Amino acid sequence: MKIDESTLTGESISVEKDKVEPVNEDSVISDRKNMAFLGTLVTYGHGLGIVTAIGDMTEAGSISQSIATTPEITTPLTRKLAQFSQNLLYIILALAVISFIVSMVRGVHRVELVFMSSIALTVAAIPEGLPAAMTITLAIGVSIMAKKHAIIRKLPAVEALGSTTVICSDKTGTLTQNQMTATAIYCGGIKYSVSGSGYSPKGSIAVQANFKQISSNISITSFKLRQLKECLISGILCNDSHLVHQKENDVWEAKGDPTEVALIVSGLKAGLNEAVINSTFPRIDTLPFESHLQYMVTLHKTSDDIDFPFHILYLKGAVEKILSICSFYIKVYNKEIEENLPQDKGYGNVITTNDNKYTLNQDDDNFVMGLTDEEACPLLDSDKSKILKVHEEMASNGLRVLGFARKLVPLEKDKIVSSDMDTNFIFIGLQAMLDPPRTEAISAVRSCLNAGIKVKMITGDNLHTAISIARQIGIIEIVQDSKNNIPINSSNTNRGVPSAITGYDIKRHSDSDLENIVKSTNVFARVSPEQKLSLVKAIQKSGEIVAVTGDGVNDAPALRQADIGIAMGVTGTEVAKEAADMVLTDDNFASIESAVREGRGIFDNITKFLTWTLPTNFGEAMIILVSALIGTSLIILPVQILWVNMTTALILGIMLIFEP
């Protein structure tokens, strides 16, 4: 059984569940493989469980309690205005008292005149146009931000963005596209890269090797790179998901598991046709993915118009498990490529393999499959070690790697049994995928860093994936600590402090240690909702103005605690939106960068208005105070002062608000 726990953890991949041994009580939600949680979605399989908690005792209930007990933080603008108003009140009262005392000492016996003078001074010193100017400025900002995909729920939040010094961003869907994409393939001893991102089949497959370019375009059909073709076909056939094209708005949608949809997309990028392949190789039986098996198996026959004397078993799953039941593999088929490949087969020149569309048909001499059993070689331990090394390299870059194999069985075989899974499978290859970063997020993060805003990633995903995405986006620049094999900072003042840590590490530190860690650490992985809230509080204690992004129920406490909470409008839950001050209608980090830029402009305009109106008001107050000191009658009456402040000063000063 697989469950989508993204609302609680933010992890984009469904989590496998099984009746495993009890886990530690302090383990994070993502590692509780024997638990299912309220509010999550079963995406695959079925199961029977025992209810262990209800209501407030559930994870969702715990988060609800955390939201209720988290006080709503006032924005920097409201805090500054409150402090400004308090200081201004004391100054005005002091001036009024001085004016009253001086007038009485000078022998003015008409108390009403003395009182009138003090009132006039008070009215003169108060910037009556400030509330109107503030409201107009913020309202203009709300309108501008709405056009840039940012909906403001609380008016002061407009300026709060401009004061932000730290942005704590979720990974999935905000910094990434939330669309699993195959990016690398390994088969026949050759590494391939896959271009394009998301569920759109636009892109191509290219050889990754340091050899001279044979021709400008090498397609699957031109040199019969059948290993690659077989790997792509197995990814399409051993698959329970579908890719749907919404033609009216030209959007490709995933129906099923995102990882399986990524396999379909990689096949389409090579020109393969999903419908044709499925009709050419109809499925007879399926062995669903099970956690204890670590693989999925499908049994296929060929269509009636094809004379092929075997049925085919396709196998997909964990690389180590796939290799354990494989006895053969396919060497490099294409001799011209093999002769030009260097021994180390590193990364290098790219050769496109998608110069024309390709579908299976009977006229193709390899229409049944990309390979034949006669081309298979024994899979030795040395070969397995080489494949595992490639797997480790892919996994270390944050990629999710799946292995593929196949086996020919007699035509009488119409059911998959356990004895079919012993040995004699032919290893086909690997496909690796990840949720790719948004292109616009990379430039947006760079702009934030250049503007002096720190960007930190807080995610429920695993550490390697978080580090990989953070490095691609530019959140961290790290070197490897060879002794402890952990990423450490290479350029900040706290050299040697981990630049990425997990929720397990956070639990081992006290609150005081956490305050020091958050100053230098930019990536936090496998973080629980309570830990995310603690991280935000620790950052705020150091005097930072914190903006937090989130979309799940688990993000709501941190969104409420933040100086400005930013929820996702497309994928965000209603709980997250209610706790946030701002909602992004496109779930894009680049929209935050635009909103911060607009917020800073609004803060500048408010500052300009205050610079204009305060000298005006205090000039009027000083005139009245001087008249009281020299004993003359009031030069200007309170009503006249109010008129000047509410009309002349406001109308002249409000032009500053409209500056871009």
Rounded distance between C-alpha atoms, residue 260 and residue 236, angstroms: 8
Residues near 580 by beta carbon (within 8 Å), at least 6 away in sequence: 153, 550, 559, 565, 566, 567
DSSP 553: G
Which of 101-110, 517-526, 638-647 shows the lowest mean pLDDT across its residues?
Answer: 101-110
Which of 65-79, 451-465, 554-568, 579-593 shows the lowest mean pLDDT across its residues?
Answer: 65-79
Report DSSP letters for 67-88, one per residue: HHHSPPPPPHHHHHHHHHHHHH
Tens-digit pLDDT profile for residues 558-568: 888 898 899 98
Of 461, 43, 49, 462, the C-alpha closest to 289 is 43
Rounded distance between C-alpha atoms, residue 576 and residue 578, angstroms: 6
Burial of 283-309, coded b for 16+ CB within 10 Å and e otherwise, reads ebeebebeeeebbbbbbbbbeeeeeee
Label residue 488 by pLDDT band (50, 70, 90). very low
Label residue 109 by pLDDT band (50, 70, 90). low
Residue, of 376 and 288, whose pLDDT is higher:
288
Rounded distance between C-alpha atoms, residue 548 and residue 461, angstroms: 17
Percentage above 70 pLDDT, the chain = 85
Tokens for 582, please give them.
């701002």
What residue type is assigned to position 456 of the chain?
K
Residues near 261 by beta carbon (within 8 Å), at least 6 away in sequence: 180, 199, 241, 242, 243, 254, 255
> Over 70: is that where the pLDDT of 369 sits?
no
Q: What is the pLDDT of residue 45?
A: 78
Q: What is the pLDDT of residue 51?
A: 92
> Over 50: is that where the pLDDT of 39 sits?
yes
Per DSSP, the three-state class of 90 is helix
Beta strands 166-169 and 546-550, pairing class: parallel
In this prediction, residues 183-197 reach a mean pLDDT of 88
Rounded distance between C-alpha atoms, residue 198 and residue 437, angstroms: 10
Rounded distance between C-alpha atoms, residue 49 and residue 426, angstroms: 38
In this prediction, residues 493-519 reach a mean pLDDT of 75
Rounded distance between C-alpha atoms, residue 332 and residue 326, angstroms: 17
Rounded distance between C-alpha atoms, residue 601 and residue 99, angstroms: 39
Rounded distance between C-alpha atoms, residue 591 and residue 459, angstroms: 20
Label residue 331 by pLDDT band (50, 70, 90). low
Rounded distance between C-alpha atoms, residue 18 and residue 43, angstroms: 14
Q: What is the pLDDT of residue 494?
A: 41
- Answer yes or no: 555 catalytic: no
DSSP 217: B
> Over 50: is that where the pLDDT of 483 sits?
no
Residue, of 181 and 462, whose pLDDT is higher:
181
Q: What is the pLDDT of residue 64?
A: 78
Residue, of 150 and 637, whose pLDDT is higher:
150
In this prediction, residues 221-240 reach a mean pLDDT of 78
Label residue 212 by pLDDT band (50, 70, 90). very low
Beta strands 425-434 and 400-409, pairing class: antiparallel
Tens-digit pLDDT profile for residues 277-304: 898 899 999 998 877 788 999 999 988 7
CATH code at 181-434: 3.40.1110.10
**Mean pLDDT across the chain:** 79
Q: What is the pLDDT of residue 181?
A: 92
Q: Name beta bridge partners: 403.
A: 317, 430
Residue, of 517 and 651, whose pLDDT is higher:
517
Label residue 335 by pLDDT band (50, 70, 90). very low
In this prediction, residues 437-465 reach a mean pLDDT of 87
Q: What is the pLDDT of residue 429?
A: 93
Catalytic residue (choose from 4, 18, 56, 170): 170
The model's pTM is: 0.71
Q: What is the pLDDT of residue 361?
A: 35
Q: What is the pLDDT of residue 12?
A: 62
Confirm if 316 and 407 have CB atoms less than 8 A apart: no
Of 473, 471, 474, 523, the C-alpha closest to 497 is 523
The phi and psi torsions of 122 (rounded to 5 degrees) equal: -65, -45
> Over 80: is that where the pLDDT of 337 sits?
no
Residue, of 234 and 492, whose pLDDT is higher:
234
Backbone region of residue 369 per phi and psi (left: phi > 0; alpha: psi in -120 to 50; beta: other values): beta
In this prediction, residues 213-224 reach a mean pLDDT of 38
Q: What is the pLDDT of residue 336?
A: 41
Residues near 120 by beta carbon (within 8 Å), at least 6 away in sequence: 624, 634, 636, 637, 638, 641
* 21 HSE (CA, 13 A, CB side): 1
Tokens for 250, please give them.
């030209």
> Over 80: is that where the pLDDT of 323 sits?
yes
Tens-digit pLDDT profile for residues 155-182: 878 777 888 899 998 887 788 888 889 9
In this prediction, residues 136-143 reach a mean pLDDT of 86
Of 96, 90, 92, 93, the C-alpha closest to 115 is 96
Label residue 332 by pLDDT band (50, 70, 90). low
Rounded distance between C-alpha atoms, residue 185 and residue 167, angstroms: 35
> Over 60: is that where the pLDDT of 489 sits?
no
Sign of CA dihedral 157, 159, 163, 169: positive
Confirm if 153 and 146 have CB atoms less than 8 A apart: no
Rounded distance between C-alpha atoms, residue 587 and residue 313, angstroms: 41
Q: How many residues are recorded in the chain? A: 660
Confirm if 77 and 163 have CB atoms less than 8 A apart: yes
In this prediction, residues 54-59 reach a mean pLDDT of 85
Rounded distance between C-alpha atoms, residue 401 and residue 389, angstroms: 12
> Over 70: is that where the pLDDT of 346 sits?
no
Q: What is the pLDDT of residue 387?
A: 93
Which of 100-109, 344-353, 435-444 shows the lowest mean pLDDT across its residues?
Answer: 344-353
**Class of the domain covering 161-176+438-590:** alpha beta
Which of 5-19, 59-73, 217-231, 469-483 shows the lowest mean pLDDT across its residues?
Answer: 217-231
Sign of CA dihedral 404, 407, 412, 415: negative
Q: Name beta bridge partners: 4.
A: 41
Tens-digit pLDDT profile for residues 619-647: 888 888 887 777 777 777 778 887 877 77
Tokens for 312, please give them.
């085919």
Q: What is the pLDDT of residue 216?
A: 32
Which of 28-32, 258-262, 589-593 shows the lowest mean pLDDT across its residues?
Answer: 28-32
Residues near 593 by beta carbon (within 8 Å), at least 6 away in sequence: 444, 445, 447, 448
